[in-house]
Structure 1
């Protein structure tokens, strides 16, 4: 996502004509988009994307479990008293 944001900023600076970026080659201005495509391809093929999605799901599941235990009065904090 960061590479896409950098690419959009560089593209806008090139189109508006801001001094240092307007003199750069289009290859350098569009390079962040190519790097983003390479990153997404690697992340999908290596399983990184799925691993992160599963971690987020586990965190939500654990938070939901903690909320349920607190609502029942059986949270870890309440059991210690």
Structure 2
């Protein structure tokens, strides 16, 4: 996400012809887009960052489900 936000901001500023961004080469935006693509398709998977996020999300869901079940069985709220 940290790559996508600057990419979109640069694209909007370039298209709106704002200040110095109007003279900026399109290669900067294309280069950032290619880097973002490579990061999300290859590097993130190689480093295991995509799985780590998934595991953290499912672990949180599991803990919430266990807490709800415990509260339901003990009569707590």
TM range (shorter): 0.7 to 0.9
Question: Which is worse superposed, 66-75 or 2-11?
Answer: 66-75
**TM-score in terms of structure 1 length:** 0.77
Whole-Å Cα distance in 2 between the matches of residues 58 and 30 of structure 1?
37
Aligned positions, number: 75
Q: What's the offset of the Cα at 1:51?
A: 2.0
Higher normalized contact order (CA 8 Å, seq sep 6+, divided by chain length): 1
> Is the contact between residue 7 and residue 31 of structure 1 (CA under 8 Å) also seen in structure 2?
no
Alignment of 1:47 with 2:48, yes or no, is: yes
Please state how far the C-alpha of 1:62 moved relative to its aligned partner.
Answer: 0.8
Q: Secondary structure at the match of 2:3?
A: helix
Structure 1 segments of 4+ aligned residues over 2 angstroms from their partners: 29-32
Q: Could you say which residue in structure 2 is the equivalent of 1:13?
A: 13
Q: CA deviation at 1:2?
A: 2.3
Calculate the aligned-residue CA RMSD, in Å.
1.8
For 1:79, the equivalent position in structure 2 comes to none
- Cα displacement string for residues 28-49 of structure 1 (whole angstroms, at most 9, x for unaligned residues): 2333212212221111123220
Structure 1 unaligned spans of 5+: 76-81
Larger radius of gyration: 1
